[in-house]
Amino acid sequence: MKMTGAEALLKILEGYGIKHIFGYPGGAVLPLYDAILKNDNIEHILVRNEQAGAHAAAAYGKHLGRAGVCIGTSGPGATNLVTGIANAYMDSIPLIAITGQVDASFIGRDAFQEADITGITMPVVKHNYLVKNPKKLIDTIYEAWHIANTGRKGPVLIDIPRNVFEAIVDFEPKVEEVSLQSYKPTVKGNKSQIKKAIKMINSSTKPLLLVGGGVLFSQADDEVKQIVDEFKIPVATTLMGIGSYDETKELALGMIGMHGKPYANYAVHHCDLLISVGTRFGDRATGSLSKFAKEAKVIHIDIDPAEIGKNVVVDLPIVGDAKGILKELIEGLEQVDRAEWIEKVSELKARNKMKLHKTNLNPQLIISKLGELTRGKAYVSTDVGQHQMFAAQYYGFSEYNSFYTSGGLGTMGFGVPAAEGVALASDRKRPVFCITGDGSFQMNMAEMATMGEHNLPVKIVLMNNSSLCLVKQLQHFQCERRYSEVGFTGNPDFKALAESYPNMVTYRIEKEEDIEPVILEAMSHNKPTLIECVISDENLVYPIVPAKKGLDEMIGVEKW
Amino acid sequence: MKYTLSVLVENRPGVLTRIAGLFARRGYNIDSLSVGRTEDDRFSRMTIVVDGDSDIVEQVAKQLNKLIDVIKVTDITSVPHVERELVFIQVSSDSGNRGEIMDLLNIFRGRVIDMSKNNMIVESTGDSAKIDAMISSLRPYGIKEVMRTGKIGLLRGTKEDDRRKG
């Protein structure tokens, strides 16, 4: 079938089940937007900054388990995407970024809106392409999709010159699987390694399962559940692993790390076997490496061989897809009496309850209430800051794949567009709560226009303390309370601002009694919503694992 | 310690940038890198000499393997392989010491490839240790410029090629 390159691109995406793409038009992508106009199967979401489009597409992809798609024009459109792409790369989120490029004949001549986006993004993509030859366009798109969605997932950028979008190509839907000689991810775990792992687990009296984002990408939540529930192995998660096991259950310890739950951190320190699945042992999760899980042997299951031994010395690596490997592990597991360890773990939990601090209109309380009223089952996105850690600590996630946050890169501005992406990926059927702060919110608050335009059920819970309190907290501890550039005096009236956007419903919470009625009312309708919570700037996130300390050396908790 | 990696890559624009960029951003040190097409035009082979401990080199190899354009990475340091480096040395010489320098070149199996009134350019191939020795032997005469290609290496036998074709 003869059609333009742009039309072929959309056809291929349609074939992969893409219903929404996020983007921003411009000169180099004119032919693509012309094709979008004629396409009835893909809805284009016009964001207000390409960065928001990349974040939205990433969250969309994370929700569906396959890549979302974002578009930017050449030059600044493409460079605006970079933060979103880097964010997806750090969190291994599948993403297809399409950028327009100047005509192939102009490349290298500093043409208007020309930027070497493949060069710029090289360190932050799983792979990228500059398609100069229209004949290679179709194969490239199939390849890009394959690379983004298999193995350790990640962003793939395709830079397409205007003349390639316009060129007439011969399109036939591809039926056979893409196969690349130089890219063959290991999916199946090594049998003898799995056997050894089974032996180690069966002879362990104090095992701990540590799950990361890889479990969600592998959709191995049922296997995790079975290991925890049937074989009584307690489970902790990394920040990215939240949403892989019901946190409200008895053997769930929640997040480990710098601001992890104290009992989760203690459990890592005291276990004799750490079974890590789909985690990359990031420094915020492990604290000092030399003190990490000192008393434990470590089994590391990951699809990326480069993660094995990168940060933590591993006793037994298994490379492959988590779901299949856990399935095989389960077949060999035996019932072992671990009553003593389970008792210890419950005692840890009982002794180190997450407390609510006594500040005025405490954000911890707001998030706990939100968790209670939504029974831990809402989709939640966050930005980056104190509110992010409070959300991870206090919400009580009990729904699979319900937490959307920026982990590795720590990107302020992620939350609002991410909520849009999740709202669209879940067919606008359920509200998506975006917990944010006034710092992060202002980085992408123009997105209120997008959510208003599309009437998306995004509920922004804005923790407004007119300051950048997570940085302030760092200055509190590391700079002897010299607070440098962390206060905002020029914030707008967020409620009034939000009201000026179409379809937005707004609320303000100023005292504790307001929390419940406002949240309930916000849940009673499907409109985009802003709930401004006027909170104190004196909150601190506890516990804290100070720099160079082990996970058991937290401050802000009683010693176990 | 120095490790030698033989890296088979797609012969495409940008591959060298991807590899050099990977070394730069992960803080690995490239001692030398040489690259050229293989018997098959679609592929190039790089020989990369890396300075570091075994953990670092293992990471380097794994990270290289993650690049989509990299087909195979082989650490050939401790497996039987041949390796050579080519060097050009421009050295000061006049009619008084030319004979002496030529004698020296014979020992290192070097050849004179250019000569003028006050200097000559010599070439030699060999392993890096031999090249080093040759350079230090010529130093007293006054070395003006040295150009080394960096090491190229190939596994003995055809295991790697068989695997690729398979």
Q: Read off the pLDDT of residues A367-392 as tens digits, 9 standing for 90 and up.
A: 999 999 999 999 999 999 999 999 99
Residue whose C-alpha is closest to residue A27's, from A156, A161, A149, A121:
A161
Residue A449 CA to residue A452 CA, distance in Å, equals 5
Decide if A466 contacts A485 (C-beta within 8 A).
Answer: no
Task: Tell me: do B94 and B148 sit in the same domain.
Answer: yes
pLDDT-based confidence at residue B164 (cuts at 50, 70, 90): low
Q: Is residue B10 part of a domain?
A: yes
Mean pLDDT across the stretch A43-70? 98
Residue A183 CA to residue A203 CA, distance in Å, equals 37
Q: Is residue B33 part of a domain?
A: yes
Task: Look at residue A357 in the predicted model and tell me its pLDDT.
Answer: 85
Closest chain B residue by Cα to residue A131: B13
pLDDT of A167 over the 50 cut: yes
Q: What is the 3-state secondary structure (H, E, C) of A297-329?
A: EEEEEECCHHHCCCCCCCCEEEECCHHHHHHHH
pLDDT-based confidence at residue A558 (cuts at 50, 70, 90): low
Residue whose C-alpha is closest to residue A128's, from B82, B42, B18, B153:
B18
Residue whose C-alpha is closest to residue A353's, from A269, A271, A268, A262:
A262
Residue whose C-alpha is closest to residue A287's, from A13, A551, A21, A4:
A551
Task: Look at residue A144 in the predicted model and tell me its pLDDT.
Answer: 98
For chain B, how many residues are written? 166
Mean pLDDT across the stretch A40-56? 98
Task: Tell me: do B66 and B97 sit in the same domain.
Answer: no
Q: So where are chain A's domains? A: 2-170, 191-351, 363-534
Answer whether A122 sits within 8 Å of B63, measured CB to CB: no
Question: What's the domain range around B116?
Answer: 82-152
Mean pLDDT across the stretch A115-123? 97
Residues of B in contact with A309 (CB under 8 A): 55, 58-59
Q: Which of B45, B68, B72 to mutate to test the interface with A (most CBs of A within 10 A)?
A: B68
In Å, how far is B105's CA from the nearest CA of chain A? 44
In Å, how far is A315's CA from the nearest CA of chain B? 15
At the topology level of CATH, where does A363-534 sit?
A: Rossmann fold (3.40.50)
CATH number of the domain at B134, please.
3.30.70.1150
pLDDT of A502 over the 50 cut: yes
Residues of B in contact with A130 (CB under 8 A): 14
At the topology level of CATH, where does A191-351 sit?
A: Rossmann fold (3.40.50)
Task: Tell me: do B67 and B17 sit in the same domain.
Answer: yes
H or E element, residue A169: strand A168-170
Task: Tell me: do B72 and B19 sit in the same domain.
Answer: yes
Q: Is residue B98 part of a domain?
A: yes
Q: For chain B, how many structural domains are there in total?
A: 2
Decide if A521 contacts A507 (C-beta within 8 A).
Answer: yes
Task: Tell me: do B71 and B102 sit in the same domain.
Answer: no
H or E element, residue B100: helix B98-107
Q: Is residue B43 part of a domain?
A: yes
Task: Look at residue B163 in the predicted model and tell me its pLDDT.
Answer: 54
Answer whether A182 sits within 8 Å of B71, measured CB to CB: yes
Asked which of B79, B110, B132 is the last residue of a domain, the reply is B79
Asked which of B57, B79, B101 is the last residue of a domain, the reply is B79
Task: Tell me: do B47 and B105 sit in the same domain.
Answer: no
At the topology level of CATH, where does A2-170 sit?
A: Rossmann fold (3.40.50)
Answer whether A182 sits within 8 Å of B70, measured CB to CB: yes
To the nearest whole number, what is the mean pLDDT of chain B?
91
Task: Give the pairing of strands A155-161 and A127-130.
Answer: parallel
Single-letter residue type at B23: F
Task: Tell me: do B135 and B97 sit in the same domain.
Answer: yes
Residue A387 CA to residue A440 CA, distance in Å, equals 10
Q: C-alpha angle with apex A442: A438 to A448, nearest 5 degrees?
A: 110
Task: Tell me: do B40 and B57 sit in the same domain.
Answer: yes
Q: Is residue B165 part of a domain?
A: no
In Å, how far is B106's CA from the nearest CA of chain A? 45
Q: Is the backbone peptide bond immediately before A543 cis, with ω within 30 degrees of 0?
A: yes
Q: Which of B40, B66, B71 to mutate to test the interface with A (most CBs of A within 10 A)?
A: B66
Closest chain A residue by Cα to residue B9: A182
Q: Is residue B160 part of a domain?
A: no
Q: Which of A90, A116, A122, A125 to mutate to test the interface with B (most CBs of B within 10 A)?
A: A122
pLDDT-based confidence at residue A23 (cuts at 50, 70, 90): very high
Backbone φ, ψ for residue A398 (5° rounding): -125, 0
Answer whether A309 sits within 8 Å of B18, measured CB to CB: no
Task: Tell me: do B22 and B89 sit in the same domain.
Answer: no
Quick: pLDDT tens for B127-160.
Answer: 989 999 999 999 999 999 999 999 999 999 765 5
Q: Is residue B9 part of a domain?
A: yes
pLDDT of A10 over the 90 cut: yes
Structure tokens, A106: 């102009």
Decide if A284 contacts A258 (C-beta within 8 A).
Answer: yes
Lowest mean pLDDT among A242-256, A344-358, A458-472: A344-358
Task: Look at residue B159 in the predicted model and tell me its pLDDT.
Answer: 56
The B-side interface with A (CB below 8 A) comprises: 9-10, 14, 17-18, 21, 25, 55, 58-59, 62-63, 65-71
Mean pLDDT across the stretch A124-142? 97
Closest chain A residue by Cα to residue B23: A123
Answer whether A183 sits within 8 Å of B65, measured CB to CB: no
* CA gyration radius, chain B: 19
Task: Tell me: do B91 and B144 sit in the same domain.
Answer: yes
Answer whether A182 sits within 8 Å of B25, measured CB to CB: no
Biggest CA pair distance of chain B: 59
CB nearest B68 (choices: A182, A305, A309):
A182
Closest chain B residue by Cα to residue A151: B66
Judge whether A2-170 and A363-534 match in fold: yes
Answer whether B68 sits within 8 Å of A147, measured CB to CB: yes
CATH number of the domain at B34, please.
3.30.70.260
Biggest CA pair distance of chain A: 72
Residue A310 CA to residue A306 CA, distance in Å, equals 7
Answer whether B62 sits within 8 Å of A306, measured CB to CB: yes
Asked which of B79, B95, B110 is the last residue of a domain, the reply is B79
pLDDT of A36 over the 50 cut: yes
Answer whether B25 sits within 8 Å of A123, measured CB to CB: yes
Residue A271 CA to residue A294 CA, distance in Å, equals 9
Q: Order of strands across the sheet with A297-302?
A: A252-255, A235-237, A207-211, A273-277, A297-302, A316-319
In Å, how far is B33's CA from the nearest CA of chain A? 20
Task: Tell me: do B86 and B68 sit in the same domain.
Answer: no
